[in-house]
């Protein structure tokens, strides 16, 4: 199962009033485990960055002026996302901007059924808030000391950890067997059962031998000099 913990930064709160994306970050998860593969890009919003937005993420109009426009990174972004589920905190905000930008290019929106909202997950899990990313990091003991300002990639990395905790804790990452293997195995472990190594599969074609006939003959002659009591003869295959 492929998912992407995902976040954006913007020039403001409302894409319908002209606010634009300035940063996209994503962290790939396979079976709830981060693979190390990420997507990160700063974006020229083609407008100024208001002081209020700059105070949040620290990305100035000047800094973003030479960065690619969304139209220039859209293909790379969509290729990275593919058909993965986007795991987003307060998904309606980020998806409002992403789908507005895609609409500007005549691209179809990312459908709602491809999005998972961790804010909704947190509200279902806990009867009282706060439910911000920082608050959830504090609740789960996740170190967010690097988060002096909002940043799409860093926030995606933190979100991946929060998401894992919302699923039931870090032991979830140990569930590397597929569901059929898990159900077929016996276990008294409530975390999902033991990890069972799959049997090695034989090669379709055996590897070619590395020893030459001359080398084999030289080895046989060497063993013969040791006599019948040589320890090697105990392990030597019959007929060789």
Q: What is the mean predicted confidence (pLDDT) over 157-179?
A: 74
Mean pLDDT (the chain, rounded)? 85
pLDDT for 215: 79
Say if residue 57 carries a ligand binding annotation. yes
| Pairwise pLDDT comparison (16 vs 236), residue with the higher score | 16
For residue 3, the model assigns a pLDDT of 98
Q: Is the pLDDT of residue 233 over 60?
A: yes
Q: Is pLDDT of 174 > 70? A: no
Q: Are 185 and 171 within 8 A, CB to CB?
A: no
Could you tell me the fold of the domain covering 2-167?
Nucleotidyltransferase; domain 5 (3.30.420)
Consult the annotation and say whether 155 binds a ligand.
yes
pLDDT for residue 231: 67
Query: Range with the lowest mean pLDDT among 10-24, 79-93, 106-120, 157-171?
Result: 157-171
pLDDT of the residue at 222:
79
3-state secondary structure the chain: CEEEEEEEEECCCCHHHCCCEEEEEEEEEECCEEEEEEEEEECCCCCCCCHHHHHHHCCCHHHHCCCCCHHHHHHHHHHHHCCCEEEECCHHHHHHHHHHHHHHCCCCCCCHHHEEEHHHHHHHHCCCCCCCHHHHHHHHCCCCCCCCCCCHHHHHHHHHHHHHHHHCCHHHHHCCCCHHHHHHCCCCCCCCCCCCCCCCCCCCCCCCCCCCHHHHHHHHHHHHCCCCCCCHHHHCCCCC
Of residues 65 and 146, which shows the higher confidence score?
A: 65
Mind listing the pLDDT tens digit for each residue in 192-228? 444 444 455 555 666 666 677 887 788 778 777 777 7
218 phi, psi to nearest 5 deg: -65, -40
Catalytic residue among 32, 40, 89, 150: 150
Residues 6+ apart with CB under 8 A from 22: 9, 10, 11, 42, 43, 45, 49, 53, 57, 59, 64
So what's the pLDDT on residue 213? 81
Q: Report the predicted TM-score, pTM, of the whole model to 2 decimal places.
A: 0.70
The pLDDT tens digits of the residues spanning 40-58 come to 999 999 999 999 999 999 9
Q: Is the Cβ–Cβ distance between 15 and 96 less than 8 Å? A: yes
Contact between 64 and 43 under an 8 Å Cβ cutoff? The reply is: yes
Find residue 27's DSSP bridge partners. Answer: 5, 38
The predicted model gives 159-177 an average pLDDT of 74
Q: For 154, what's the count of Cα atoms within 13 Å in the CB-facing half-sphere?
A: 14
- Give pLDDT tens digits for 97-135: 999 999 999 999 999 999 999 999 999 999 998 999 999
Give the Cα separation of 183 and 135 in Å (integer).
36
Let me know if 32 is a catalytic residue: no
Distance CA 50, CA 145 (A): 26
Supply the pLDDT for residue 217: 82
Does pLDDT of 178 surpass 50? Answer: no
């Amino acid at each position: 199962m492929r998912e992407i913990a995902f976040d954006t930064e913007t020039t403001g709160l409302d894409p319908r009033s002209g606010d634009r994306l300035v940063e996209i970050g994503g962290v790939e998860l396979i079976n709830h485990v981060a693979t190390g593969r990420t997507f990160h890009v700063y974006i020229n919003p083609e407008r100024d960055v208001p002081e209020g937005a700059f105070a949040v993420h620290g990305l100035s109009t000047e800094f973003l002026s030479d960065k690619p426009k969304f139209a220039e990174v859209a293909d790379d972004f969509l290729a990275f996302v593919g058909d993965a589920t986007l795991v987003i905190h307060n998904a309606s905000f980020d998806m409002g901007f992403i789908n507005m930008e895609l609409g500007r290019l005549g691209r179809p929106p990312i459908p709602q059924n491809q999005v998972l909202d961790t804010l909704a997950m947190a509200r279902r899990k806990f009867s009282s808030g706060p439910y911000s990313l920082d608050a959830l990091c504090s609740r789960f003991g996740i170190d967010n000391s690097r988060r002096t300002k909002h940043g799409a990639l860093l926030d995606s990395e933190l979100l991946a950890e929060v998401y894992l905790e919302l699923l039931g804790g870090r032991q979830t990452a140990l569930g590397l067997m597929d569901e059929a293997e898990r159900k077929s195995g016996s276990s008294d472990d409530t975390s999902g059962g033991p990890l069972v190594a799959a049997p090695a599969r034989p090669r379709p074609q055996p590897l070619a031998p590395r020893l030459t006939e001359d080398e084999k003959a030289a080895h046989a002659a060497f063993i013969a000099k040791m006599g019948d009591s040589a320890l090697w003869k105990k392990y030597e295959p019959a007929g060789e």
